[in-house]
Structure 1
Amino acid sequence: MTKIHATALVDPAAEIDGTVSIGPYTVIGPHVKIGAGTTVGAHCVIEGRTTIGRDNRIFQFNSLGAVPQDKKYAGEPTELTIGDRNTIREFCTFNLGVPGAGGVTSVGHDNWIMAYTHIAHDCHVDNHTTLANNTTLAGHVHLADWVTVGGLTGIHQFVSVGAHAMIGFASAVSQDVPPFMLVDGNPLAVRGFNVVGLRRRGFSPERVAAVKLMHKLLYRQGLTLEQSRSGIEALASDLPEAAPDVDMMNRFLASATRGIAR
């Protein structure tokens, strides 16, 4: 049977799997769905049209699915979706989306989200990310797979951060961060590429070499962005094992809307 503490307030219309555990004084709204094996700690509020997957660990004092901090929002039926196997530590706030921007805020699978993280409306956090304490995402931010964000970092609205990028402690991120890059500071600067993270994830020497060359073309040769992109595209034929990494970088650079961190 579902383990619901006697002091928890769970709306009868909520869809709660029979293996879910809900701690004392937690409040669950009528449009909430929670999947098998998820645990919800004490004093949480989960509201709105919020769907939570399997085997998540949601610690105490979280607010999930509250209305967005957007003055244009007028009570429309927008959503928050959270995938499987996420760890969400204390005092996090994840908001619903807003109409006109997809209306969905999403968090994927296997993310490690530390205390006081804020994920604003219409953000999309993919999979295997690590967000350290006091990470703050403004609206419409996209974090791709395996992104790491240092504590006390703020990310400006509409910014995209590419896969495997790492953002250092107390950074102000107002431009798009290309995949694989290592950045920090205020103003933000690119310090290198995330070689330690790539090796930990099993990147071969050829793939790491390709990322090193992409970093060099973008940041070490004084090239324009278009010249850099042409040089990066040519790497796919020279290092075929790294062709998917090269393609990912080119697609990111082609779609960057806020300019890339330099």
Structure 2
Amino acid sequence: MSKISELAVIEDGAVIGKDVEIAPFCFISSEATIGDGTTIAQNSCVYGKTTIGKNNRIFSHAVIGSIPQDLKFNGEDVELIIGDDNTIREFTLFNPGTKGGGGKTIIGNHNLFMGYVHLGHDVIIGNHCILANAATLAGHVELGDYVVVGGMTPIHQFVHIGDYAMIGGASALAQDVPPFCMAEGNRATLRGLNLTGLRRNIQREDINALKSAYRELFESGKPLKDVASQLLESTKSRHVIDLCNFIIKTKRGIPFERKGV
């Protein structure tokens, strides 16, 4: 049975699932859909065409689905889609998409967004990510699965971060970070592999293959995309293949210190 406070404002047309809890002084728009088992704490607002999946926990004063902070936005039909089992802490701000970015901001499952996290328009978040307090993602940023972003870290528009990557706290990231890697600093540069995260999820032989590939890619002094292409021809590791394909496809470049320069 849903527990919805009489002091919450829920517009006609909103779709509320089973066992949903909505605390006092919340606002739910007419176009919103709230999945089964989701809880929304006091003073939180869900605006616009926002779909929230099952068993999400939304803490107080979260603002979900308010219009994009984009001067080009002119009231187009856009939306925010949130998956299942996410934890969204206090004073977070999630914006929907824009016409120029496909119209959708998409968040996966089992993510943790700590206090004051901001997700800009057209952001895409994978699964099992952790964004620490006041991490700030500009428009069109894309995160893979199992990404960790440290607190107080801003990420530039259109940056892509691969699976299992980690960005240190109080960094400022303006370029793409390949999967399995760790970046830190202002401006952030690669510091090595995210070994702690890898050891939790990947077999030792795969980690060894990634170590070898990392040295060849970033410590040999050779042209990065040339090395990635060569490794693709010789490796059998799917993780190295993912790493090399990411590097070849990057549009913003990879932030690393080039040897011999």
> Does TM, normalized by the shorter one, top 0.5?
yes
SS state at 1:191 partner: strand
Give the corresponding residue for 1:225.
224
Letter in 1 for 2:139: G
SS state at 1:259 partner: coil
Say whether the 8 Å CA contact 1:163–1:179 is kept in structure 2.
yes
Query: Shift of the alpha carbon at 1:234?
Result: 4.1
Give the corresponding residue for 1:261.
255
Give the corresponding residue for 1:211.
210
Query: Shift of the alpha carbon at 1:235?
Result: 4.7
TM norm structure 1:
0.95
* Runs (5+) with no aligned partner, structure 1: 238-242
Say whether the 8 Å CA contact 2:115–2:132 is kept in structure 1.
yes
Give the corresponding residue for 1:163.
163
SS state at 2:106 partner: strand
Query: Shift of the alpha carbon at 1:230?
Result: 2.9
Q: Counterparts of 2:90 and 2:70 in 1: how far apart (Å)?
A: 24
TM norm structure 2:
0.96
Letter in 2 for 1:245: H
Say whether the 8 Å CA contact 1:178–1:261 is kept in structure 2.
no
Sequence identity of aligned pairs in percent?
45
Q: Counterparts of 1:90 and 1:142 in 2: how far apart (Å)?
A: 23
Give the corresponding residue for 2:242.
248
Q: CA RMSD in A?
A: 1.0
Letter in 2 for 1:87: T
Give the corresponding residue for 2:62.
62
SS state at 1:192 partner: strand
- Number of aligned residue pairs: give it: 256
Q: Counterparts of 1:70 and 1:235 in 2: how far apart (Å)?
A: 45
SS state at 2:196 partner: helix
SS state at 1:80 partner: strand
Within 5 A, what are the aligned runs for 1:185-200?
185-200=185-200
* Runs (5+) with no aligned partner, structure 2: 257-261
* Deviation by residue 1:76-134 (Cα, 9 ceiling, x = unmatched): 11000000000000000000110021100011000011000000000001100000000
Say whether the 8 Å CA contact 2:229–2:248 is kept in structure 1.
no
Say whether the 8 Å CA contact 1:184–1:190 is kept in structure 2.
yes
SS state at 2:209 partner: helix
Q: Counterparts of 1:87 and 1:232 in 2: how far apart (Å)?
A: 39
